[in-house]
Amino acid sequence: MHPDDTITAISTPTGHGGIGIVRLSGSSAIKISDRIFRSPHKKRLKHTPTHRILFGHITDPSSGEVIDEVLVSVMKAPNTYTKEDIVEINCHGGAVPVKRILQLVLSSGARLAEPGEFTQRAFLNGRIDLAQAEAVLDVINSLTVQSQKTAVNQLRGKLSGRINDIRDRLIELTAFVEAYIDFPEEDIEPPSLKKMRSMAQKIHSQLENLIENSRYGLILREGLKTAIVGRPNVGKSSLLNALLEHDRAIVTDMPGTTRDVIEEYLNIQGIPVRIMDTAGIRTVKNLAEKEGVKRSLHTLENADLILLVIDGSKALHRADRELMEKTDPEKTIMIINKTDLPQKAKPARPPMATIKISAKKGSGLKKLKDKIATTALKGQTECNTEVVTNTRHISALEKAFNSIHSFMEGIKRQDSPEFLSLELRESLDAIGEILGITTPDDILNHIFDNFCIGK
């Protein structure tokens, strides 16, 4: 980090738009902007009170050429996004004016920002913790209103609050245990052991609760991976099209129409559903179709939810039964399609939920959507938007959980306080990784690398 240098970037997307924004952050942000900004009343940005907007022109100081008419926002440290001085130049939103202004800012003393560097500065300067910084990207990338609400809660520090609470309890417990390290000849007395156990139990159940709910959190952030599978010609692609309400996939009466996995997003009651139509599963010789079947099986194995489609107008096939055995009933919905035709398939008491539909007529789809939503929400109160959504956080919570678990086992065995405190230290480190207290540098860099430039 070079805390003294001033960074800059274009913060709006490239292309045409109403406005484009070039943003600067750092101790020279105002000085640099003053070199290229001319106001009609000769106002200087450095004399402008904080959080004000000035009208004027960006002018090339070497030639006097006016580059664009602009509004410039001046935000002085520390109450800014990065806790540093920030200037935002709002110009006309075409690629050329924005780029020319960026060039001028660069040649006037700023350095081009790395991806996510503004947010990284907000983190390094202590305005937000790491979980909040990650939430910035989640707000930008959110898939549905529900995902966005969750990300905003995380950005506002709701998750961090809960994590900090666990951390405080862990610190208290560690101090309590470590007080015994100086008296190695004495055993920890039973009342103290009891107290340690109850303190650990509280932390244990808080962690357990966060981990349990994270399944839903992951769905909100990444989408419910849903695979439509079944034999050829049962109407998988027709189902995809019916759910999307447009003809996305090719449908024909020839078995083997779909070869590749087709992926789309659907919003079902606020839950982002990543729906994948796959090639019909059967034994084939044709190479392309063989590869298609391989991909279908791979998609099926990695799905959170499987929509297993069978053709209700045909007698149940051995291959249908094989698929029913292959799929986990807990995460499968069996769909009997083509109910508009006379029915022949009679699956005897399938172990999974079953829904009858006609993809062609659109009947049964509402019921199916409700079922998909309840499967995703399993064990959740509707709209729980205070959940862990990030795999990095989940694995840190699991690490902390395992260490606390070992600590409790250690109490049972009456392990030495040194040994017990090691487990607690590990748990503390894991929790600290979520907030950015103990996060290794390479992981930190990796997190901010995923941001766009200008954020």
8-state DSSP, 16: -
Is the CB of residue 23 less than 8 Å from the CB of residue 111?
no
Chosen residue from 31, 295, 326, 360 binding ligand GTP by CB under 6 A = 360
- Spatial distance between the Cα atoms of 397 and 409, rounded to a whole number of angstroms: 18
Residue 25 binds to ligand GTP (criterion: CB under 6 A) = no
Torsions phi, psi of 67, nearest 5?
-85, -45
**CB contact set of 321 (below 8 Å; sequence gap of 6+):** none
Is the CB of residue 273 less than 8 Å from the CB of residue 299?
no
The first and second tokens of residue 59, run together, are 């002018």
- Helix/strand/coil for 284: coil
8-state DSSP, 330: G
- Helix, strand, coil fractions of the chain, as percent rounded to 5: 45, 20, 35
Decide whether 163 or 240 has the Cβ nearer to ligand GTP: 240
Residue 258 binds to ligand GTP (criterion: CB under 6 A) = yes
Q: Which stretch binds ligand GTP (CB under 6 A): 54-62, 103-111, 120-128, 229-237?
A: 229-237
Chosen residue from 146, 214, 238, 406 binding ligand GTP by CB under 6 A = 238
Decide whether 192 or 257 has the Cβ nearer to Mg ion: 257
Report, in Å, the least distance between residue 306 CB and ligand GTP.
14
Residue 394 binds to ligand GTP (criterion: CB under 6 A) = no
Residue 364 binds to ligand GTP (criterion: CB under 6 A) = no
Binds 203, which of ligand GTP, Mg ion, none (CB < 5 to 8 A, cut-off by type)?
A: none
Site string for ligand GTP, 264-303 (x = CB under 6 A): ---------------xx-----------------------
Chosen residue from 8, 150, 237, 390 binding ligand GTP by CB under 6 A = 237
- Spatial distance between the Cα atoms of 29 and 162, rounded to a whole number of angstroms: 36
Residue 233 binds to Mg ion (criterion: CB under 5 A) = no
Q: Which stretch binds Mg ion (CB under 5 A): 171-179, 215-223, 236-244, 367-375?
A: 236-244
Spell out the long-range contacts of 236-239 with Cβ–Cβ below 8 A and sequence spacing 24 or more: 236/277, 236/278, 236/280, 236/309, 237/262, 237/277, 238/337, 238/359, 238/360, 239/277, 239/307, 239/309, 239/335, 239/337, 239/357, 239/359
Chosen residue from 142, 233, 327, 406 binding ligand GTP by CB under 6 A = 233
Binds 243, which of Mg ion, ligand GTP, none (CB < 5 to 8 A, cut-off by type)?
A: none
Decide whether 297 or 408 has the Cβ nearer to ligand GTP: 297
> CA separation (Å) from 186 to 93, 181, 216, 407, 414?
73, 9, 47, 19, 12
Report, in Å, the least distance between residue 312 CB and ligand GTP.
8
Decide whether 111 or 360 has the Cβ nearer to ligand GTP: 360
Instruction: Please give the helix or strand (H or E) that residue 349 lies within, else none.
Output: none
Binds 102, which of ligand GTP, Mg ion, none (CB < 5 to 8 A, cut-off by type)?
A: none
Binds 255, which of ligand GTP, Mg ion, none (CB < 5 to 8 A, cut-off by type)?
A: ligand GTP
Chosen residue from 154, 206, 237, 403 binding Mg ion by CB under 5 A = 237
- Spatial distance between the Cα atoms of 131 and 387, rounded to a whole number of angstroms: 12
130: how many CB neighbours lie within 10 A of its CB?
23
Report, in Å, the least distance between residue 330 CB and ligand GTP.
24
Decide whether 215 or 326 has the Cβ nearer to ligand GTP: 326
Q: Which stretch binds Mg ion (CB under 5 A): 119-127, 135-143, 211-219, 237-245?
A: 237-245
Spell out the SS3 assignment of 393-431.
Answer: HHHHHHHHHHHHHHHHHHHHHCCCHHHHHHHHHHHHHHH
Instruction: Please give the helix or strand (H or E) that residue 70 lies within, else none.
Output: strand 66-75
Report, in Å, the least distance between residue 347 CB and Mg ion.
21
> CA separation (Å) from 122 to 86, 128, 151, 153?
12, 6, 17, 18
Nearest alpha carbon to residue 197 among 411, 405, 7: 411
Torsions phi, psi of 435, nearest 5?
-85, -10
Report, in Å, the least distance between residue 288 CB and ligand GTP.
13
- Spatial distance between the Cα atoms of 427 and 429, rounded to a whole number of angstroms: 5
Binds 360, which of ligand GTP, Mg ion, none (CB < 5 to 8 A, cut-off by type)?
A: ligand GTP
Residue 334 binds to ligand GTP (criterion: CB under 6 A) = no
Site string for Mg ion, 255-294 (x = CB under 5 A): --xx------------------------------------
Report, in Å, the least distance between residue 269 CB and ligand GTP.
24
Chosen residue from 20, 97, 116, 235 binding ligand GTP by CB under 6 A = 235
Report, in Å, the least distance between residue 285 CB and ligand GTP.
16
Residues that bind ligand GTP (CB under 6 A): 230, 232-238, 251-253, 255-258, 279-280, 337-338, 340-341, 358-360
Residues that bind Mg ion (CB under 5 A): 236-237, 257-258
